[in-house]
Amino acid sequence: MPSLKDLRNRIASVKATQKITKAMQMVAAAKLRRAQEAAEAARPYSERMGAVLANITQAIGGGGDAPALMTGTGRDDVHLLIVCTAERGLCGGFNSQIARLAREHIRKLLADGKQVKIICVGKKGFDILRREYGSLILERVDLREVKTLGFVNADAIARKVINLFNQGGFDVCTLFYSQFKSVISQIPTAQQIIPAAPASAAAETSNGATAVYEYEPEPGEILSDLIPRNIAVQIFRALLENAAGEMGAKMSAMDNATRNAGDMINRLSITYNRQRQAQITKELIEIISGAEAL
């Protein structure tokens, strides 16, 4: 049975923890709003980009001059996975969910006899995947120093990926990130970016393509300029969604922690009070029985 003093210390320390988690929750809430705004501000660009891309692919009509980034190498042997996670923990299952999805993917690919390469964006995913697949990880992109995600960050990653592709480093590239659905729900998603997934292009053609365009310069040339940019945009969007998702997950995780700490304090206080009461009763009995003995 812990002494009264022990209990008092315990309560004080839980209270201190509760204060910290509460503060973290509030910080996450503030950051979430900003991240959400950024994600929303970036949406028009990627939507327009999708529409334009659909238009132009239709114009080319899958002709032979489509760049390799779009059609792929025609092989399916080496897979590059870009796993985007958060830089910090304490956000519930956010990072492990993404990592789990990636891990399942890797396992399946390896079982099929494919070669797998990994680029980790964010420290946490790297930490999780390193244990099992450390030898497959090519590179780790560190964004911890970055205060506000800019397009530049995504562009840098995209450039690396494209360089690697041009050197024949891989055939298929898949992006793993967490889609931000709402504050309490983030969906880990795998999205194929190289070669550009045909399904999404087909879906977009139906609404966008009405006009016969003139192209300046040639469609093929525009396309070869556009596709790398599109990859950067996709990565950028993934990073932004991730940032918003991380903050959402952190907020709910910290909210839970604060509530748990509150419950714990209640329980401890009850024990403390009971014990204090028991001690008082015991002392009283001792005094009374002492008085009776006289």
Partner 1 sequence: MAEAFKFELVSPERLLVSEQVESVVIPGAEGEMTVMAQHAPVMTTIKPGVVTVKTAAGKEERYVVFGGFADILPYGCTLLAESAVAVGDIDRADLARRIQEAREDAADAKDDEARSKAEQFLSQLTTLEGALLPA
Would you say 10 or 151 has its CB closer to partner 1?
A: 151
Residue 168: CB minimum distance to partner 1, A: 16
CA-to-CA distance for 235 and 242, rounded, in angstroms? Answer: 10
Q: State the amino acid at position 232 in one-letter form.
A: A
Would you say 215 or 273 has its CB closer to partner 1?
A: 215
Would you say 109 or 143 has its CB closer to partner 1?
A: 143
Task: Enter the DSSP assignment of 248.
Answer: H
CA-to-CA distance for 125 and 105, rounded, in angstroms? Answer: 14
Residue 180: CB minimum distance to partner 1, A: 17
Residue 91 known to be catalytic: yes
Among 84, 91, 120, 173, the active-site one is: 91
CA-to-CA distance for 261 and 11, rounded, in angstroms? Answer: 10
* Residue 121 β-bridge partners: 84, 141
Residue 56: CB minimum distance to partner 1, A: 7
Q: Which residues bind partner 1 (CB under 8 A)?
A: 38, 41-42, 44-46, 48-49, 51-52, 55-56, 150-151, 154, 211-217, 219, 221-222, 225-226, 229, 232-233, 236
Would you say 104 or 225 has its CB closer to partner 1?
A: 225
* C-beta separation of 99 from 84 below 8 A: no
CA-to-CA distance for 218 and 233, rounded, in angstroms? Answer: 22
CA-to-CA distance for 256 and 260, rounded, in angstroms? Answer: 6
Q: Which residues contact 150 (CB under 8 A, 6 or more apart)?
A: none
Would you say 25 or 36 has its CB closer to partner 1?
A: 36
**What order do you get walking across the sheet with 172-180 strand by strand?**
137-141, 115-121, 78-84, 172-180, 186-194
Residue 85: CB minimum distance to partner 1, A: 21
Residue 71: CB minimum distance to partner 1, A: 20
What's phi and psi for 141, nearest 5 deg?
Answer: -95, 125
Residues tagged active-site: 91
